[in-house]
């Protein structure tokens, strides 16, 4: 059975507002249909296609990388001590925390409010299904 999503579910998965998804549906960018007289639903395959199209290209001026897991966000907290820095980035609904040298954080100019791209490179990724 193919997965379908209501407008609010699709919006949450894409990280946009319900109104944005409705505009995309009304404008023909995202197909939706109604089963019976119920709410509009979006086929999972159509949602996946749009999600792929919405992937952001790397920020201009960033160094090319083999890592594909790049999350653009805003720095929300930086804690520095003598040697290390803990940097928190909010990228959509995701909170990422990075530990780095204080020198690296200073050279990158990482302070609260700065736009940053977190690149995640891992040898293992766990996937759960709700």
We report the CATH number of the domain holding residue 10 as 1.10.1660.10
What angle, rounded to 10 degrees, do the helices at 44-54 and 7-14 form? 30
Question: 74 and 36 in one domain?
Answer: no
Secondary structure class of 60 (helix, strand, coil): coil
In a domain, 126, yes or no: no
Mean pLDDT calculated for residue range 79-88: 95
Q: How high is the pLDDT of residue 90?
A: 87
pLDDT per position as a tens digit, 48-75: 888 888 776 555 556 666 666 788 888 9
**Residue 18: both structure tokens together:** 């319900």
Question: 73 and 116 in one domain?
Answer: yes
Question: 38 and 15 in one domain?
Answer: yes
Question: 49 and 76 in one domain?
Answer: no
Question: 75 and 49 in one domain?
Answer: no
On the question of pLDDT at 16 being above 80, the answer is yes
Q: How high is the pLDDT of residue 13?
A: 86
Q: What is the CATH number of the domain that holds 75?
A: 2.40.50.100
Where does residue 126 fall: left (phi above 0), alpha (psi -120 to 50 degrees), or beta otherwise?
A: beta
8 Å CB contact between 70 and 58: yes
Question: 42 and 15 in one domain?
Answer: yes
CA 15 to chain centre: 7
Expressed as residue numbers, the domain containing 81 is 69-120
Looking at the chain, list the stretches that DSSP marks H as alpha helix, in order from N- to C-terminal side. 7-14, 18-26, 44-54, 102-108
8 Å CB contact between 21 and 11: yes
Q: How high is the pLDDT of residue 37?
A: 81
On the question of pLDDT at 109 being above 90, the answer is yes
Question: 87 and 45 in one domain?
Answer: no
pTM over 0.75: no
* Stronger pLDDT, 9 or 57, i.e. the higher one: 9
Mean pLDDT calculated for residue range 96-101: 93
* Stronger pLDDT, 109 or 128, i.e. the higher one: 109
In a domain, 125, yes or no: no
8 Å CB contact between 83 and 93: no
């Amino acid at each position: 059975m193919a997965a379908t999503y209501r407008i609010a579910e699709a919006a949450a998965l894409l990280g946009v507002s319900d109104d944005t998804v409705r505009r995309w549906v009304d404008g023909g960018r995202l197909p939706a249909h109604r089963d019976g007289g119920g709410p509009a639903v979006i086929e999972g395959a159509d949602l996946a296609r749009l999600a792929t199209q919405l992937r952001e290209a790397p920020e201009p001026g960033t160094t090319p990388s083999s890592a594909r897991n790049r999350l653009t966000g805003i720095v929300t907290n930086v804690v520095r001590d003598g040697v290390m820095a803990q940097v928190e980035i909010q990228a959509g609904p995701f909170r990422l925390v990075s530990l780095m040298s204080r020198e690296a954080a200073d050279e990158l100019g990482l302070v609260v409010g700065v736009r940053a791209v977190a690149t995640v490179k891992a040898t293992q990724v766990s996937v759960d299904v709700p």
